[in-house]
C-alpha cells in the first residue's frame, strides 16, 4: 500500500484550528470551564514576553450600608477599591510525530481528521498534566504559607488498613468543599485517581450518572468526574496517599497561540541512514494560569518555561486572592 504524505493532507492553519476544537471537546477541564479561554488570554499567550500580568480588583470586606439622614453636616464616607495584578508564566511546548507513527494504521480513514485526532488527544493529556502539576505546586504553597486552608488531609502513613475516616466518602469530599465556606457551590468538577473512583463506586453506585449525549462526562452528585492516575497517588512507608482535587469554573485562565511557524511538516533526508522520513511538528504557546496566584517557578536554561516538576515545587506559587475567591479544594485520603 502506498504511504500517505503528510504534506499532502495537513494544511497547518486548518489543522491547528481543528485540533484546538477537538481538544476543547475532549477535555473535561476545558469543556466544564475549569479552564476558561478568552480572546484576551489568547492575546497574552501570543505576546512576546515569557511572563504576563493579569490585573484584578481586590475584594473588600462587607460593612453595613450607611444610614441616610437629613443633617447636611453629616458627611458620608466612601469605600476604597484597590487593584493589583497576578503574574503568570507562559508555557512553550512542542510535540513531533513521524509519518509512520501517524499513518501506518490508517486504512480507509479520513487521514487529516485521523491525524488531528491523535494530536488533539495528546494535547488534551498534556494540558491536563500541566494543570495537575500546578495544582500540586499550589498545594505545597498553601500548606507552607496559608495554613493549609485549601486542604483537608485525613491520610496517615500508619500500619494497618485505612479506616472509613481516612478514606474518600461524600463526607470527606464535603469537608474539602467546606474550605470554601459559603462559596462551596462554585466547585463543580472532581479530579480523582481511578482507585478513588472505584472506591466511591463501591460505596455509592447510584450517586454516579453515566455519560450521555447531553452530559458527555460521568458525574458524582452532579459534579463532573475526571479520572487521572498520573501524580495523584504517593506510596508511603506503609500506605498510599491519594490526592483528589475539587475545582470550580474559572479556576484557571487558558490562552493558546502558535509558536513560531506553528504546525509544520518537515522532511529529514538523512533519517533512516538517508532513506528519509517525514515528520509533523506541533508547537504551542500556552497560558494556563491558576486564578488568584502569582507564579514564579524556576526555569532551567535554555528552556523558555518551567517543567512540570518545577511547577510542582515549593515556591512556585503565591496566593494573592482571598480563600473564597479561589475555587480549588484539595482532599488527601488513604483510599
Cell of 74: 453629616
pLDDT one-digit tens code per residue, 181-207: 999 999 999 999 999 999 999 999 899
pLDDT band at 22 (very low <50, low <70, confident <90, very high): confident
Main-chain dihedrals φ then ψ at residue 103, nearest 5 degrees: -115, -5
> In sequence order, what are the beta bridge partners of 70?
none
pTM of this structure: 0.85
H/E element, 86: strand 83-89
Nearest to 121 by CA among 6, 266, 20: 20
Average pLDDT, the chain: 87
Main-chain dihedrals φ then ψ at residue 185, nearest 5 degrees: -70, -5
**Tell me, what DSSP letter sits at residue 3?**
P
Cell of 233: 497517588
Longest pairwise C-alpha distance within the chain:
93
Residues 310 and 89: beta-carbon distance below 8 Å: no
pLDDT one-digit tens code per residue, 94-152: 998 876 655 555 555 556 677 777 888 899 999 999 999 999 999 999 999 999 999 99
Nearest to 285 by CA among 30, 23, 51: 51
Give the rounded percent of residues in the chain with a pLDDT score beyond 90.
59
Give 42's Cβ-side CA count (13 Å radius).
6
Nearest to 88 by CA among 36, 125, 53, 113: 53
Rounded Cα distance between 155 and 132, Å, is: 20
> In sequence order, what are the beta bridge partners of 266?
279
Rounded Cα distance between 144 and 137, Å, is: 11
pLDDT at 28: 76
pLDDT at 238: 97
pLDDT at 176: 98
Main-chain dihedrals φ then ψ at residue 120, nearest 5 degrees: -65, -40
pLDDT one-digit tens code per residue, 41-62: 999 999 989 999 888 777 777 7
Rounded Cα distance between 45 and 304, Å, is: 13
CA distances from 330 to 108, 153, 194, 223, 248 (A): 46, 8, 16, 15, 12
Rounded Cα distance between 85 and 205, Å, is: 44
Amino acid at each position: 500500500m502506498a504511504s500517505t504524505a503528510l504534506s499532502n493532507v495537513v494544511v497547518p492553519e486548518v489543522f491547528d484550528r481543528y485540533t484546538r476544537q477537538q481538544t476543547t471537546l475532549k477535555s473535561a477541564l476545558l469543556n466544564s470551564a475549569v479552564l476558561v479561554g478568552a480572546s484576551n488570554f489568547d492575546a497574552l499567550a501570543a505576546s512576546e514576553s515569557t511572563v504576563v500580568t493579569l490585573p484584578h480588583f481586590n475584594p473588600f470586606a462587607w460593612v453595613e450600608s450607611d444610614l441616610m439622614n437629613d443633617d447636611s453636616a453629616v458627611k458620608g464616607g466612601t469605600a476604597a477599591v484597590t487593584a493589583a495584578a497576578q503574574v503568570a508564566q507562559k508555557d512553550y511546548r512542542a510535540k513531533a510525530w513521524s509519518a509512520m507513527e501517524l499513518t501506518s494504521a490508517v486504512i480507509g480513514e479520513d487521514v487529516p481528521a485521523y491525524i488531528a485526532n491523535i494530536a488533539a488527544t495528546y494535547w488534551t493529556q498534556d494540558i491536563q498534566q500541566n494543570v495537575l502539576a500546578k495544582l500540586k505546586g499550589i498545594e505545597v504553597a498553601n500548606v507552607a504559607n496559608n495554613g493549609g486552608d485549601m486542604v483537608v488531609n485525613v491520610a496517615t502513613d500508619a500500619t494497618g488498613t485505612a479506616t472509613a475516616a481516612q478514606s474518600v466518602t461524600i463526607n470527606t469530599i464535603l469537608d474539602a468543599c467546606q474550605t470554601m465556606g459559603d462559596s462551596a457551590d462554585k466547585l463543580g468538577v472532581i479530579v480523582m485517581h481511578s482507585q478513588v473512583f472505584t472506591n466511591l463506586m463501591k460505596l455509592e453506585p447510584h450517586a454516579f450518572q453515566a455519560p450521555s449525549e447531553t452530559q458527555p462526562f460521568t458525574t458524582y452528585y452532579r459534579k463532573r468526574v475526571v479520572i487521572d492516575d498520573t501524580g495523584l497517588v504517593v506510596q508511603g512507608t506503609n500506605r498510599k496517599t491519594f490526592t483528589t482535587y475539587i475545582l470550580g469554573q474559572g479556576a484557571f485562565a487558558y490562552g493558546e497561540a502558535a509558536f513560531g511557524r506553528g504546525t509544520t511538516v518537515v522532511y529529514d533526508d538523512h533519517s533512516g541512514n538517508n532513506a528519509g522520513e517525514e515528520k509533523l511538528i506541533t508547537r504551542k504557546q500556552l497560558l494556563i494560569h491558576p486564578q488568584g496566584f502569582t507564579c514564579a517557578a524556576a526555569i532551567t536554561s535554555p528552556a523558555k518555561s518551567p517543567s512540570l516538576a518545577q511547577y510542582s515545587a515549593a515556591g512556585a506559587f503565591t496566593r494573592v486572592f482571598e480563600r473564597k475567591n479561589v475555587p480549588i479544594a484539595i482532599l488527601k485520603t488513604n483510599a
